[in-house]
Amino acid sequence: MPAPPTRFDLLDALRGFAVVLMMAFHFSFDLSMFGYVRIDFYQDPFWLNARIFIVTLFVGVAGASLSLATRDGIHWQRFLRREAILLACALLVSAGSYAMFPQSWIFFGILHFMALAGLLAVPFLHFGISNLVVGVLILLASWLFTHPLFDAPALQWLGFMTHKPITEDYAPLVPWFGVLLLGIFIGKQLPNSNLFQYPLHTQRWAKPLLWLGRHSLLVYMLHQPIFILLLVLLAL
């Protein structure tokens, strides 16, 4: 019997597609910040929904990938190394954002969420349909419950605030942990799916997406400094 695949091309391609969308979103934000275009990223429904779609894609694929990577058990050294890298990158994002936006720095963005959610997800990796149920309940809770208590700065990362905090990137535990659990549930269905085992790497058009999907953290950390540097040079 052949060994199960270590990666699923379609997941890498979906992550790569999310990276492309993220870069387009951030470059548009940078163009607005430098005054080349006028876009209201904080109230325009198109851009608000675009961000939700991009984060949903990232988090859902992360959940499915985590499920697949641990289907034969957790390799703790590799898992903890990944967590340490995510945490280090999250701290760099916080520091960089504070230097640029001290009034709206990123205190709990997507990388902060990924680092924490990866640890919290460990017990759920053993569950099946329960992840679907709990994931949906978390999503419902995010829509149905808010309380001023969670407006306190120390509790804003949970996600039950009555208003979005002033920050350039915000990915609270609720609702996004619910999306991660849905991704884990989907990931458990994938080993038996012919669709997700299709060898996209044999298709020339898919190779850039696969590369981006397999190096998404590196691209995430480098693309904004590169964009900003280019726009600074353009403004000289």
Structure tokens at 200: 């996209």
Q: What is the mean pLDDT of residues 136-141?
A: 97
Burial class (CB in 10 A: 0-12, 13-18, 19+), 43: exposed
145 domain-assigned: yes
- Distance, CA of 159 to CA of 64 (rounded, Å): 23
3 within some domain: no
189 lies in some domain: yes
Residue 66 has pLDDT above 70, yes or no: yes
For the entire predicted model, the pTM comes to 0.92
Helical ranges in 121-199 per DSSP H? 129-144, 173-189
Residue 4 lies in a domain: no
Per-residue model confidence as pLDDT tens digits over 156-168:
999 999 998 999 9
Tokens (6 digits) for 204 = 């020339």
Q: For residue 174, tell me if it sits in a domain.
A: yes
Contact call for residues 1 and 189 (beta carbons, < 8 A): no
Domain holding 104, by residue range, is 9-235
In a domain, 2, yes or no: no
Tokens 């990362």, residue located: 157
* pLDDT in the model for residue 107: 96
1 assigned to some structural domain: no
The domain tally of the chain equals 1
Query: Is 19 a member of any domain?
Result: yes
**What pLDDT, in 10s, does the model give residues 209-235?**
999 999 999 999 999 999 999 999 998
